[in-house]
Amino acid sequence: MPDKIEKSDAEWRAQLSPEQFKVLRKQGTERAFSGTWWDNHETGEYRCAGCGQVLFRSDDKFDSGTGWPSFTRPAVSESVEERSDRKLFMKRTEVVCSRCEGHLGHVFPDGPQPTGKRYCMNSAALDFQAGEAGPQEPTG
């Protein structure tokens, strides 16, 4: 597991675009169907826009119809952390990067098999690297 990355808001603002800062550091959400990656069909890896850690693989991406990039599982389970989110008067599960603790989106129990999960992520929180996607954890 890589070392945790800690930076001040000023350091994050200097590194990220305003939209990336709003999403990753202030738990914002981009508008549906507005992000760069929701309709991306290329092969590759989705990395954290804050620290570059590999988070998701194109093999696990699916069209959820929600307007956000959606995945059935992380590339490696340790690359994300799940936290209880009770904002907006509802109970949800927030997903953050395990390395920089950047807000990525939320996970819901209504995805397709093999996991039945829908990791609904913000494009602004992700960078995409086209090419052969790296190794994947077995479904268990």
Spans of all domains in the chain:
35-130
Of the listed ranges 56-70, 86-100, 106-120, 126-140, the least confidently predicted one is: 126-140
- The predicted structure's pLDDT at residue 42: 96
What is the Cα–Cα distance from 123 to 126, expressed in whole angstroms?
5
- The predicted structure's pLDDT at residue 3: 86
Sign of CA dihedral 134, 130, 125, 13: positive
Residue (of 39, 78, 76) closest to 57 by Cα position: 76
Q: Is 2 helix (H, G, I), strand (E, B) or coil?
A: coil
pLDDT at 64 over 80: yes
- The predicted structure's pLDDT at residue 137: 60
pLDDT at 140 over 60: no
97 is catalytic: no
Of 48, 97, 100, 120, the catalytic one is 120
- The predicted structure's pLDDT at residue 86: 75
pTM of the model: 0.90
Sign of CA dihedral 83, 85, 91, 95: negative
Helix residue spans in the chain (DSSP H): 9-15, 18-26
Does residue 134 contact residue 45 with C-beta atoms inside 8 Å? yes
- The predicted structure's pLDDT at residue 134: 60
What is the Cα–Cα distance from 8 to 25, expressed in whole angstroms?
10
Residue (of 21, 23, 24) closest to 10 by Cα position: 21
pLDDT at 43 over 90: yes
- The predicted structure's pLDDT at residue 55: 98
The CATH homologous superfamily to which domain 35-130 belongs is Peptide methionine sulfoxide reductase. (2.170.150.20)
Does residue 96 contact residue 86 with C-beta atoms inside 8 Å? no
